[in-house]
Amino acid sequence: MKQIVFVFIFGMITLSAIAQNESGAASNNFKGRLYFYWGWNRAMYTKSEIHFTGNNYNFTLHKVIAKDRQSPIEASTYLNPTQATIPQYNFRVGYFIKSNYNISFGIDHMKYVVQQNQTVKISGNIAGTGTQYDGTYDNNNVIIHDGFLKYEHTDGLNYFNFDLRRFDRIFDWNKVQIHFTEGVGVGGLYPRSDVTLINNERNDKFHLAGYGMNVMAGLNIEFYNHFFIQSEFKTGFINLPDVHTTNSEFDKARQHFFFSQVNILFGATFNLRKPKAKSDVK
């Protein structure tokens, strides 16, 4: 609950700040413009409590460390259309509903990998597996490795989200404009979770597992009123109450954590409104 309140307050402060001075000198009328972008992200995650439930177990791993998984920086991977969804990517399409405000839909394809060979605390019980892990635990140490647990959202931690964003021009020089953008968003998580728990069969099916909320800020450099490069910082909260861990419908995991992204994006924008004829301008 603390995390949700934090993101909500941060989002309200952001919206309050960006709503001021809409008619200021730095603003411009972007109403009617459509944009889309594609790019790549680097993601970071806070430590997480992961709670596992099933027919033979009910236990929690505490303060689990996870990181993203970057694809090797190679042109054959990042610039090949047939390999486009392999790296951690961001896609978004948006439309300006007012002079400075746009609504957009995007996919943030992150990867979440619980680090192997880390020692964490475990609480709860495991029974009936016929392994060394059967027993009752009360804040004992356990090492996460392939024989005990492999836990990844690597294809991926897919965050489908809707954003409300503001856009302001802060610099205009000939055919180059610089804009500042910020906003808030909410959405769902549809991961393909690669999980192997003790001696259970691997599960790696796509599944609607939870929800997220985010805030963002970015700098946009536009060329010739059509093409742009954008850098973004994005942070938010993810709650996954329904992660599939085995092929049994009764076996699940739940967790929540904060995430952050640093994004580099490339896109284009088009004006869908016809410009007014000079005779129409009074």
Cα 12 to chain centroid, rounded: 19
DSSP state of 279: G
**Average pLDDT estimate for 49-67:** 96
Instruction: Give the separation between CA 163 and CA 121, rounded to whole angstroms.
Output: 37
- CA neighbours within 13 Å on the CB side: how many for 93? 2
Instruction: Give the separation between CA 10 and CA 4, rounded to whole angstroms.
Output: 10
Q: Is 75 helix (H, G, I), strand (E, B) or coil?
A: helix
Instruction: Give the separation between CA 160 and CA 157, rounded to whole angstroms.
Output: 10
More reliable by pLDDT, 229 or 275: 229
User: Looking at the predicted structure, is the pLDDT value of residue 17 above 70?
Assistant: no
In this predicted structure, what is the pLDDT of residue 76?
A: 67
Q: Residue 135, Cβ neighbours under 10 Å: how many? A: 13
Tokens representing 46 are 């806070």
Stretch among 17-21, 107-111, 141-145 having the lowest mean pLDDT: 17-21
Tokens representing 71 are 């694809």
- Nearest residue to 156 via CA among 209, 192, 195, 108: 192
In this predicted structure, what is the pLDDT of residue 90?
A: 97
Continuous segment of H or E residues that includes residue 58: strand 57-64
Cα torsion 94, 97, 102, 103: sign = negative
Contact yes or no for 83/71 (Cβ under 8 A): no
Tokens representing 23 are 């008619």
Q: Give the domains, in start order, of the chain with CATH numbers.
A: 2-21+29-276 (2.40.160.20)
User: Looking at the predicted structure, is the pLDDT value of residue 3 above 90?
Assistant: no
User: Looking at the predicted structure, is the pLDDT value of residue 281 above 60?
Assistant: no
Instruction: Give the separation between CA 261 and CA 112, rounded to whole angstroms.
Output: 12
- CA neighbours within 13 Å on the CB side: how many for 25? 2
**Average pLDDT estimate for 38-47:** 96
- What pLDDT, in 10s, does the model give residues 119-128? 999 999 999 8
Q: Residue 169, Cβ neighbours under 10 Å: how many? A: 18
Tokens representing 77 are 């991977």
Q: What phi and psi values does residue 123 have, to the nearest 5 degrees?
A: -130, 140
Residue whose entry in the numeric block shows the structure tokens 């804009």: 179
Concatenating the DSSP letter of every residue in 8-26 gives HHHHHHHHHHHTTTTTSTT
Percentage of the chain exceeding pLDDT 70? 86
